[in-house]
Chain A
Amino acid sequence: MENPSRRIELVCPAGSLPALRAAVDNGADCVYMGLRDDTNARNFSGLNFGLEDTAAAVSYAHARGAKVLLAINTYPQASGGERWLQALDAAASLKVDAVILADPGLMQHAKREHPGLRLHLSVQSSATNYEAINFYHEHFGIRRAVLPRVLSLAQVEHVIRNTPVEIEVFGFGGLCVMVEGRCMLSSFATGESPNTRGACSPGRAVRWHETPNGMESRLSGILVNRYAGNEKAAYPTLCKGRYEVAGETYYAIEEPASLNTLELLPDLARAGLAAIKIEGRQRSIAYVAQVTRVWREAIDRCSRDPAAFAISPAWAAELRKLSEGQQQTLGAFYRPWK
């Protein structure tokens, strides 16, 4: 019998040209990237693409049958909006396959000035329901929406059934616990947020101190965690800190852990999911290569025979090694997590 579910596209991250090559070489269908400024939500120093690199990325990917998606997914600020328009111009002239946008004003501009450009709705738009997604579809013709990491599997299916827009979800990598686009914890502590500056818990604000009580991590002076001798320290993202609430000290929001939805692959395929996204533009080339290879094999095996799909021990081991604190979670896909 023919497989009723369509083949899910694998969308992989690249923070540099070598990372993009690693993603393409290991089987990514699409690679997403950003320019070297605050027009994208991974605005980290030493990361991302200049215009020349972008052209090279597009030609490398296209020559091998892969697509390039350009994330222009921060919110243009009241002053300095030209950078976002220039990024759109670059996307159109360099023939990227789609742009990933969050701001309605920018989508309107893209639709008017670059009618041939394919638009994806960024996770930073916080569109968690089909009314919102269909709104962006009707006004701007978006073709795909990336869902925030807040819905259960049944809720994702419900969205898919009620929209003509392709749906993409995060499958692996760093886990935003908060609704993307609606989290200001980073700017509260540091002055820079994903919405305004494309940064969350920026590296310039991070300090590590060895103290008699253990290793302390701080963000703009705020104590985010303190580690006993044998504990593995994690990057001080505010939502993964250890705090005191009503007399108890614990990870009040979330433990340092990575999202991993590999086991849901057959369910997601059956639901009609269009694409799975791997988080990690800020991660190493080796990370991109390894995660891409595992997910390529898994998606191929799942699309050949979803009923017989099982996670190979080798995949599981490899993904565990690449996870934050070697911990994994299904996040909101698993209802009790909420």
Chain B
Amino acid sequence: MKLALEPIPYYWPRETVLAFYRAVALSAVDVVYLGETVCSRRHELRLPDWLDLAHGLAAAGKEVVLSTQALIESESDLKTLRRIAGNGRFQVEANDMGAVRLLEGKGPFVAGPHLNVYNPQTLAFLRALGARRWVAPVEMPRSALAGMMQARPEGVETEVFVYGRLPLALSARCFTARRFNLQKDDCQFRCLDHPEGLPVRTLEGQPFLVLNGIQTQSARICNLARELPEMARLGVDIARISPQSGHIAEIAALVKRVLLDPGEVVTVAAQLDGLAAEGTCNGYWHGAAGIEQVLAHQH
């Protein structure tokens, strides 16, 4: 199994992003997804900057994929999308059917996690348009994924989210701006002050969600390291981890260790748990609520 790093979901200063990918270039990651997928107001890096990064990472031996924004609202969003789709060099991860329309029949692309591929018929349809890889929805349980793997068409790889804060929802509204009583159109780029988003706690103090601009994530880290050997048995091709501001090379190295040697899973999974300050969850994989941490022996 290969190891992939999804796009940075947060808004970081340009220098932070560049330093992050310098570390990624030296890390155990095999596939790097690049680009802004959450908010069109984020411009610390523009497409030429992402392309520069892409060339550098490719030169470092990484497979590079350019990702597209999940929520497309305006003509200017579409213009950006067209530029990415027509970049002519790097493969593209489509996170909206509008992106698929621009990519279909023009060579291979990746069907991203926001396309809602829940059944083999839809996967086969996308395969026929050129999808050579699909990313499973984070809420898809093991049982459903097993069904997908049995029926999956020839020549399409499967990628599964295994570590990081779960991307749970997108909105037209910016919740970070709302917290500071600002409107989205004049958000003062407050996301820059919160490199891992704004934690949301319930009224009794339970860490619950994270607000990242228009995106809502889980507070807990989804850690499916213990489930990796099973994913390998099902035939999953790629394990996906999500960027966070600290420890990314360490996380990548740990996940890679399990991929290379499943015998290490117990030790490594515990180390990965230790990196999750707000706790871990794995419920989706086990067919439970996503927030739950299901013990392995319960299944």
Interfacial residues, chain A to chain B (CB-CB below 8 A): 75-79, 81, 102-106, 108-109, 125-132, 134-136, 138-139, 149-151, 155, 158, 177-179, 181-185, 187-191, 193, 195-196, 220, 222-226, 239, 241-246, 248-249, 252-254, 332, 335-338
Contact B172 A104 (CB under 8 A): no
Cross-chain contact of A179 among B143, B172, B175 (Cβ < 8 A): B172
Cross-chain contact of B290 among A127, A139, A158, A184 (Cβ < 8 A): A184
B contact residues around A104 at 8 Å (CB): 97, 121-122, 125-126
B contact residues around A103 at 8 Å (CB): 116, 118-119, 121-122
What's the Cα separation between A245 and B202 when bound, in Å? 9
A contact residues around B107 at 8 Å (CB): none
Determine how close the nearest CB of chain A comes to the CB of B153; give it in whole angstroms. 12
B289 within 8 A of A: yes
B contact residues around A139 at 8 Å (CB): 125
Interfacial residues, chain B to chain A (CB-CB below 8 A): 70-75, 77-78, 81, 96-102, 104, 114, 116, 118-126, 137-139, 143-148, 151, 166, 168-175, 178-179, 183-185, 198-206, 208-209, 211, 216, 218, 283-284, 287-291
Contact B170 A335 (CB under 8 A): no
> Top 5 closest A-B pairs, CB basis?
A105-B121, A131-B98, A78-B147, A150-B172, A105-B122
B interface, by DSSP: helix, strand, loop or mixed?
Answer: mixed
Contact B116 A249 (CB under 8 A): no
Cross-chain contact of A184 among B73, B168, B198 (Cβ < 8 A): B168
What's the Cα separation between A245 and B204 when bound, in Å? 12
A contact residues around B124 at 8 Å (CB): 105
Cross-chain contact of B171 among A177, A223, A248 (Cβ < 8 A): A177
A contact residues around B173 at 8 Å (CB): 177, 253-254, 332, 337-338
Contact A243 B198 (CB under 8 A): no
Contact A75 B184 (CB under 8 A): no
A interface, by DSSP: helix, strand, loop or mixed?
Answer: mixed
Contact A243 B118 (CB under 8 A): no
Contact B100 A191 (CB under 8 A): no
What's the Cα separation between A136 and B116 when bound, in Å? 14
**Contacts A128-B72, A184-B138 known; A75 to B101 CB distance under 8 Å?**
no
24 CB contacts below 8 A, A to B, read: A75-B116, A78-B119, A78-B146, A78-B151, A105-B124, A131-B97, A131-B98, A131-B102, A135-B97, A135-B100, A177-B171, A182-B70, A182-B71, A183-B170, A184-B139, A189-B291, A222-B206, A223-B206, A242-B203, A246-B198, A252-B175, A253-B216, A335-B183, A336-B185
Residue of B137, B166, B169, B175 with most chain A CB atoms under a 10 A cut-off: B169
A contact residues around B216 at 8 Å (CB): 178, 185, 253
Determine how close the nearest CB of chain B comes to the CB of A93; give it in whole angstroms. 21
6 additional A-B residue pairs with CB within 8 Å, beyond A109-B121, A134-B101: A78-B118, A131-B98, A155-B74, A178-B171, A185-B168, A223-B203
What's the Cα separation between A185 and B71 when bound, in Å? 17
Contact A155 B116 (CB under 8 A): no
Cross-chain contact of B169 among A179, A223, A243 (Cβ < 8 A): A179
Contact A243 B202 (CB under 8 A): yes
Determine how close the nearest CB of chain A comes to the CB of B293; give it in whole angstroms. 13
Cross-chain contact of B118 among A109, A196, A222, A253 (Cβ < 8 A): A196
Contact A105 B183 (CB under 8 A): no
Cross-chain contact of A338 among B138, B184, B198, B204 (Cβ < 8 A): B184
What's the Cα separation between A103 and B98 when bound, in Å? 15
Contact A191 B288 (CB under 8 A): yes
